[in-house]
Every structure is written in structure tokens, then in C-alpha cells.
């Protein structure tokens, strides 16, 4: 049930960055509960595949909207497309993100600006555009940040600050959402098995001349975790945060990292 008494089948969830990785898993997890996902990212063909998978999971009305979300007007266009199709928005998961890693001195302004344009500014724009509709539905927002928000690392000078900004922004709008019936939380994934992690494993393998399995094991040990996370670990946490069972969780930053974060 939604905040306004809507059934699962009536609820609508916008999931950004849903063409692969965490966003895809989150969208399909909503679909399996009958919630209608609106999936968005740039790759239209991949989105169509996700929408088709969502339909067979149990959401016959899944909608795909291709968009470059780093562009100013695009979040609002996606919100309008969701409203045109369904007339309501219950859930917003801001997940799209692609910040470059690397040596700080080698990362130009353009990479910093692009990192913020997508992961931070698109989140702000989605929250603003969807706000009155979420308020009407008694809805929920989950902003996907990352453990780099709390644990800065030298090779993550774009992603870390973007993630910290999202934690701060989430808390700030949660103070407003409290009085307007929108529940807002932030989720920080740790090291989860998506293309981003595979890229890191390959980069380490190439740098150190290691076969993939060894590079993977080296990275796991470096991160001090028993295993890498699965996209389903994050999807399960997002679904919980959007459920009635989590109705008293508001303005929180939830870390889902298999114990990777060393501090408190």
C-alpha cells in the first residue's frame, strides 16, 4: 500500500539510471511487487529490454523514457512522461551516476562538472519536478549516494564530494518533506557487482599484470569485505525504504556495504 492507500498495482516508481546495474535491479524488484516502474537512462534499447523484463516480472505497464539526465530540462520531461501515462508518482529513486575515478591532478574541470551535472543536479531537478506529485501520493524518495560520501579516498575526488552533497541535500529536503508527506532517505552502497566494479577489477588486473580472478580477490581483500555486494542487496534495501514497514525512517543515511566502511 502507498501513503495515500494506493495498492501496489496503482503505485508508480521512477528509477533513474535503470538501463543496467543497480537501477535495473531496483526497477525489476519494484515490478515483482506489482509497482509500475518508469525506467530512464540514455540507452533506449537497453531500457526497452528492462521494461520488457519488468512486464514479465509482474508490471504490465512498465514505461521506458530515454534521456540524457545531465541535460537541464530532461528530468522534468521524464516526470511529465510518467504523469502523462499514469497520472501519479509514488516513488522516486535517484540512482543515475557516472563519476570518473583517477589521479586528482589528471582530472580536468569537465570531469568534475559532468559528475555533478548527472548525479547531483539531476537528483535536485527530479526532486523539484516530482515534489507536488509525491506529496499528493504520500510518496517516498531514495537518493543513491555511496560509501565514498563518508570515507574519502584519493582516487575518488569527484564521486566522493558528489555523494557527500547528496547526503546533505537529502537531509535538507527531508526537513521539508516531513511536513508535506514525502518520506526521503539516502542509501550508500558499498562495492557492488555492476559494470563499475568490473571496470575497477580490469584496471587493477592490467596495472598489476594479474588474471581477472586474482585481481578480483586482491580488490576484495583491499576493501576488507567477505564478498562483493549483489545488485539485489541494494534493490532489497530500496524496496524496504519505500515500504510501510519503513514508515518511521526519514532523513536517514543507510549504509549497505557488507562492512566495508571502517569508521562510525
- Which residues here bind ligand NAP, judged by CB under 6 A? 17-23, 41-43, 46, 68-70, 95-98, 118-119, 144, 146, 189, 191-192, 194-197
| Residue with smaller CB distance to ligand NAP, 117 or 249 | 117
| Residue with smaller CB distance to ligand NAP, 83 or 225 | 225
| Residue with smaller CB distance to ligand NAP, 123 or 138 | 123
Q: Which residues contact 239 (CB under 8 A, 6 or more apart)?
A: 26, 29, 30, 33
Cell readout for 206 is 592490467
Q: How far is the CB of 23 from ligand NAP (least distance, A)?
A: 5
| Residue with smaller CB distance to ligand NAP, 46 or 249 | 46
Q: How far is the CB of 174 from ligand NAP (least distance, A)?
A: 19
| Residue with smaller CB distance to ligand NAP, 22 or 59 | 22
Q: What is the dihedral of CA 189, 35, 61, 124, to 10 degrees?
A: -50
Nearest to 78 by CA among 90, 91, 64: 64
Kindly report the backbone phi and psi dihedral angles of residue 227, in degrees, each rounded to the nearest multiple of 5, phi listed first.
-160, 160
Q: How far is the CB of 31 from ligand NAP (least distance, A)?
A: 16
| Residue with smaller CB distance to ligand NAP, 129 or 194 | 194
What does the buried/exposed string (b/e) look like for 157-173 if buried means 16 or more CB atoms within 10 Å of the residue's CB? bbbbbbbbbbbebbeeb
Kindly report the backbone phi and psi dihedral angles of residue 221, in degrees, each rounded to the nearest multiple of 5, phi listed first.
-65, -40
Beta strands, E only, 43-172:
63-66, 91-94, 140-144
Q: How far is the CB of 7 from ligand NAP (least distance, A)?
A: 28
| Residue with smaller CB distance to ligand NAP, 36 or 125 | 125
Cα distances (Å, whole numbers) of residue 255 to 118, 147, 184, 186, 196: 22, 7, 15, 9, 18
Residue 91, Cβ density class (10 Å: 0-12 exposed, 13-18 middle, ≥19 buried): buried
Q: How far is the CB of 252 from ligand NAP (least distance, A)?
A: 17
Q: How far is the CB of 70 from ligand NAP (least distance, A)?
A: 4
Q: How far is the CB of 180 from ligand NAP (least distance, A)?
A: 26
As beta bridge partners, residue 183 has: 140
Amino acid at each position: 500500500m502507498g501513503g495515500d492507500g494506493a495498492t501496489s498495482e496503482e503505485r508508480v516508481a521512477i528509477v533513474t539510471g535503470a538501463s543496467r546495474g543497480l537501477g535495473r535491479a531496483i526497477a525489476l524488484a519494484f515490478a515483482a511487487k506489482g509497482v509500475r516502474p518508469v525506467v530512464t537512462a540514455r540507452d533506449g534499447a537497453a531500457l526497452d529490454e528492462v521494461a520488457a523484463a519488468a512486464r514479465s516480472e509482474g508490471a504490465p505497464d512498465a514505461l521506458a523514457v530515454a534521456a540524457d539526465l545531465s541535460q537541464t530540462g530532461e528530468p522534468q520531461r521524464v516526470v511529465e512522461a510518467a504523469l502523462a501515462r499514469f497520472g501519479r508518482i509514488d516513488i522516486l529513486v535517484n540512482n543515475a551516476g557516472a563519476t570518473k575515478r583517477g589521479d586528482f591532478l589528471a582530472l580536468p574541470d569537465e570531469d568534475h562538472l559532468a559528475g555533478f551535472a548527472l548525479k547531483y543536479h539531476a537528483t535536485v531537478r527530479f526532486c523539484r519536478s516530482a515534489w507536488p506529485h509525491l506529496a499528493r501520493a504520500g510518496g517516498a524518495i531514495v537518493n543513491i549516494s555511496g560509501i565514498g560520501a563518508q570515507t574519502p579516498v584519493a582516487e575518488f575526488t569527484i564521486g566522493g564530494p558528489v555523494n557527500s552533497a547528496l547526503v546533505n541535500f537529502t537531509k535538507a529536503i527531508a526537513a521539508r518533506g516531513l511536513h508535506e508527506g514525502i518520506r526521503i532517505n539516502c542509501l550508500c552502497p558499498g562495492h557492488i557487482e555492476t559494470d563499475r566494479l568490473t571496470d575497477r577489477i580490469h584496471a587493477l588486473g592490467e596495472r598489476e599484470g594479474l588474471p581477472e580472478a586474482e585481481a578480483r580477490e586482491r580488490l576484495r581483500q583491499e576493501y576488507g569485505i567477505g564478498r562483493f555486494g549483489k545488485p539485489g542487496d541494494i534493490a532489497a534495501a530500496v524496496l524496504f525504504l519505500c515500504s510501510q514497514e519503513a514508515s518511521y525512517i526519514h532523513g536517514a543515511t543507510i549504509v549497505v556495504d557488507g562492512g566495508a566502511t571502517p569508521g562510525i
